[in-house]
Structure 1
Amino acid sequence: MLEVIFGTKARELTLQYLLTFKEGYAREISKYFDISLPSIQNQLKNFEEGGLALSKMQGRTKIYFINPRYAFLDELTALLNKAKQYYKPELKNKFEMQRKRPRRPEKPL
Structure 2
Amino acid sequence: MLEALLGTKNRELTLQYLLVFKEGYAREIAKYFDVSLPSIQNQLKHFEENGLALSKMSGRTKIYFFNPRYAFLPELTTLLDKARLYYKPELKEKLDMQRKRPRRVGKPL
Q: How does 1:42-81 map to 2 (within 5 A)?
A: 42-81=42-81
Unaligned runs of 5+ in 2: none
Which residue identity is paired with 1:7?
Answer: G
Residue of structure 2 equivalent to 1:3: 3
Say whether the 8 Å CA contact 2:20–2:98 is kept in structure 1: no
Identity %: 82
| Count of matched residue pairs | 106
Cα distance change of structure 1 residues 2 and 28 upon mapping to structure 2, 3 Å threshold: same
2:28 maps to 1:31: no
Query: Which residue in 2 is equivalent to 1:92?
Result: 92
TM-score by length of 2: 0.90
Give the structure-1-normalised TM-score: 0.90
- Do structure 1's residue 17 and structure 2's residue 17 form an aligned pair? yes
Structure-1 separation of matches of 2:35 and 2:101 = 23
1:26·1:41 contact (CA, 8 Å) conserved in 2?
A: yes
In 1, Cα distance between equivalents of 2:97 and 2:68? 20
Distance in 2 of aligned mates of 1:62 and 1:36: 17
RMSD of equivalent CA atoms: 1.7
Gaps of 5+ in 1: none
- Note the C-alpha offset of 1:3: 0.3
